[in-house]
Amino acid sequence: MKYILLIYQAEDAGPTPGSPEFGPFMEGYFGLNQELTNDGAMIAGEGLQDGETATTVTVRNGKTTTVDGPFAETKEMLGGFYFIDCDNLDQAIAYAAKIPSAQFGSIEIRPIMDYGQ
């Protein structure tokens, strides 16, 4: 079963680049990346630029509108994702719990739709 693990964290939460805590924080990501790869579960994963770089697109009555920034007014922003292939939800939860940002934010697990292909 394929899952996406969406990483949400307030942009001011967690270690900042250049701080003494940032190196070990990122090592947690590198370690998880290696574990997912070794386990054959990794499909893709990326961090995202800050929310201020986002552009939101809506189409209403045939009119396309763009807004700078994320659509939702929320403290936690989507900061990255993992796209993984697991045996079951329990395995996806176990991987999600290892994401370093889970200590400062939340990880949303969503199964990927199977359209019978």
pTM: 0.85
Check residue 26 and give its pLDDT.
Answer: 93
Residue among 53, 55, 77 nearest 65 (CA): 55
CA dihedral sign, ordered 57, 5, 13, 47: negative
Q: What is the mean pLDDT of each run of 10 residues along the chain (117 residues)?
A: 92 86 93 97 92 84 85 74 95 94 92 84
Enumerate domains of the chain plus CATH numbers: 2-111 (3.30.70.1060)
Q: So what's the pLDDT on residue 117?
A: 64
For residues 70, 72, 77, 81, the Cα torsion angle rounded to the nearest 10 degrees is: -80
